[in-house]
Structures are given as C-alpha cells and as structure tokens.
Amino acid sequence: MKFNTLHIVSIIAIFQSILMALFFLLNKKSPRTSNILLSSLLIVFSILVSCSLIVSLGLLKGSQTNNKLVLLLGQTAFLVGPLLFLYIRSLLNMNFSFNKHDWLHLIPFIIAVIYSVGIIQTASKFIIWTYPGRLFITAAILSQNIIYLIALWKDIQSYGLTFKLFLSYIDNSRLSWVRYFTVGYILLWVAQLQVFFGWDILGHPAWCPYGLSLYSVTAFVFFNGILFIALRKPETFYRVQKYQSSILKQSDKEQYREKLTALMGGEKIFLNPSMTLSDIAEKLELAPCYVSQIINESFQQNFRDFINKYRIEESKRLLTQPNQHLNILGIALDAGFNSKSAFNNAFKKHTGITPKEFKKNAS
C-alpha cells in the first residue's frame, strides 16, 4: 500500500465534509429542512470519497469484504441527484418543506441497494471490477444525475434567470450559492464520467485509482470552496426567519400576491417613479410590513428589486420597439426610473448587460 499526497487530500476532504455536515446540522439560524438536506448531501460525498480512497490505496486486492463494502456504499451515488435537487429547491423557495411525495426520490437508491445485496449473496467470488450489471448501474447513476440537472435548471429558470445571467452575474447570496453548488455538481459528474469511460467502457481498471483520485481532488476543491464562502459570506448560511411572529395566513398571502401581481401587471403602478411600499400597502388595504413579507416570501425579492424587475421588463419592451426615437434617458423615465444612472445600475443587475448592449443585441 503506497501512501501519497492524493491520499492525504482524500482524507482531508472526508473530514471536511463530515465537519461541515455537523456545522449545517447544528446551525439553527437557517431553515431546518435546508440544513438537513445539505448535511445529508455532504455525508454522501464523504462516503463516495471514502470509496475512492479504499480503491486508490489498493485495499480491494484479496479482500472480499472490502469489495462488497465498496459496492454497497457506492450506491449512495443515487442519492446525490435527489438531495442536490431538493436542497437547491429549498434555497429558491423560502416556503419549501419536505413532503411525503419527496420520498419517491429514494426509489432508485433502494432498488440499487437491493440489487447489490442480491449480487453479493449469489456471487461465489465477488470482485468489484467485474460484477454483473456494473455497467448498467454506473450508467444509471450518470443518467439520473443528468435528469436531475435538467429538472434543476427548469427550477432555476422559473426563478427568472437565463443561462447567461446565471453564469455571469448574480447579486444575491442565495443565488450565488445555487450557482456554486450547481457548477460544482457538474464538475464532480464530469470526474465520475471519466472513471466510467476508463473503467467500464474501455475496460482498464488499472486506470481507476487515477480517475478516482481526480474525483477526490475535485471534491477537495469543492469542499474548500464551501469553507471559503462560509468565511467570506457567512450570511449565506444564516438566513434568519424574519416573519416567525407574523399572523398572516398562507391563504391570505396567496390572495394578496394575486392582487399585487394584478396591480403591477394591469395598472402598472410601477411606472410612478416615486412609488413606495406604503403606496402599495394603501392600494392593497394592508399594513406595509405584510406587503414586505409577501414580496420577500412569495417573490424572494426585496421591495426595490421587485419594483425594478417590472420596470426593467417595461424598458426592454420600449428598447425593442421599432421606430423608437426615445434615448436611454427617455426610456428610463417612461419605465418608471427617476435617473439614467439608477436605470443603468438596475438594468445591469437584473440582466448582466447595459441597456445600450441590450438594444444593440436586440437590433
């Protein structure tokens, strides 16, 4: 057994993921469901890196127990996609709660475990490299992850983000965290794909330790990125529940959300550059604090961003109108902004480009 730097990196990655899982599990300043999902995801990552370490150290040779253990533990890879999907959904939706239908995401994992147990019991001499159905299981894991990535992207799009904006600019700690996890997940998937081609498709298990080391290094970088964000932006993990004492019922929030949407889309009250939270509250016949709660929880935005989003959409319509003779300032004023600088800043924050660039691209 040769011990090298990559093995040290793997061990550090395992301890990091376990410590971070405990940190998030004990963190009481953000939603409990999100913490449990993230902790579970980190534990699964630590298990998969441990499997990589066992293989890389050569502990499978001559050990039936280790071969069987790696097979069983490796099936936790079926949990990565569901856990990441549900965790990011909990970040996008502040009212997210785990329900009975979400347990259906565990079905592939349960089937894989049952199949693996059957293989272990029936095989006279079990070897992890060549067991029956290995190619099918590995391909199923990779395919499942692709399916969850597609579902995840649909959720992100429902939040109003385009692909370019998602990758280029997000002035929101939660959405930046979503981007980090999504990109990190894709990189881990690519590393696992490399192992799949080298091990299962090309039939060179001798390449496996190097491929699994790549997976461990990717995980190590991923975990350290989480630590860096935790130190640089701790507010990402301390999302305080602002409205725990609110008496506003869920049915009331949905009703007022519809009224608010009608005010913005129908009456276009956002065109008033001096529009305030109190003005909207007066039209809804509701206290300003409750209007703020509805905007924060239902639209995951603060009041300024909520209003500016409608103004930006109006300005886009004006910018793309044929025979438009208004200059940028004129369009800004017509869309409800009170200055050109405020318009430029808000437009770039929401779209990632300036109004001039948008107009040029549209034309």
Q: Does 114 score more than 90 pLDDT?
A: yes
CA 161 and chain centroid, separation: 13
Query: Are 208 and 215 within 8 A, CB to CB?
Result: no
In sequence order, the 6+-apart residues with CB closer than 8 A to the CB of 188 are 80, 215, 218, 219, 222
Q: Which of 26-30, 151-155, 303-307 has the highest mean pLDDT?
A: 303-307
Q: What phi and psi, each to the nearest 5 degrees, are found at residue 278?
A: -65, -35
Question: In the chain, which ranges are continuous DSSP H helix?
Answer: 5-26, 32-56, 64-74, 77-92, 107-122, 134-158, 163-168, 173-196, 208-232, 250-262, 277-284, 288-299, 303-319, 328-334, 340-351, 355-362
Which of 240-249, 256-265, 322-331, 340-349 is predicted with the least confidence, judged by mean pLDDT? 240-249
- Answer with the residue of higher pLDDT: 35 or 245: 35
Intra-chain end-to-end CA distance of the chain, in Å: 64
| pLDDT reported for residue 175 | 67
pLDDT 10s digits, 125-158 = 777 767 777 778 888 888 998 999 888 888 777 6
CA distances from 75 to 52, 71, 88 (A): 13, 7, 22
Q: What percent of the chain has pLDDT over 90?
A: 9
Q: CATH code for 5-236?
A: 1.20.1070.10
pLDDT above 70: residue 233: no
Please give the residue that has the higher pLDDT: either 132 or 304. Answer: 304
| pLDDT above 90 for 79 | yes
What's the CATH superfamily of 250-362? Homeodomain-like (1.10.10.60)
CB-side exposure of 33: number of CA atoms within 13 Å?
17
Mean pLDDT (whole number) for 114-128: 81
Long-range contacts of the stretch 233-241 (C-beta < 8 A, 24+): 233/173, 233/176, 235/173, 236/173, 236/174, 236/176, 236/177, 237/24, 237/27, 237/29, 237/30, 238/27, 238/29, 238/30, 239/29, 239/30, 239/31, 239/174, 240/29, 240/30, 241/31
Indicate the domain borders of the chain.
5-236, 250-362
pLDDT in tens, 169-224: 455 556 667 777 777 778 777 777 766 666 666 665 555 555 555 666 777 777 77
Domain 5-236 shares a fold with domain 250-362: no
In this prediction, residue 139 carries a pLDDT of: 86
CA–CA dist 245, 250 (Å, integer) = 13
Query: Residue 240's pLDDT is what?
Result: 46
Comparing 236-245, 281-290, 350-359, the range with the smallest average pLDDT is 236-245
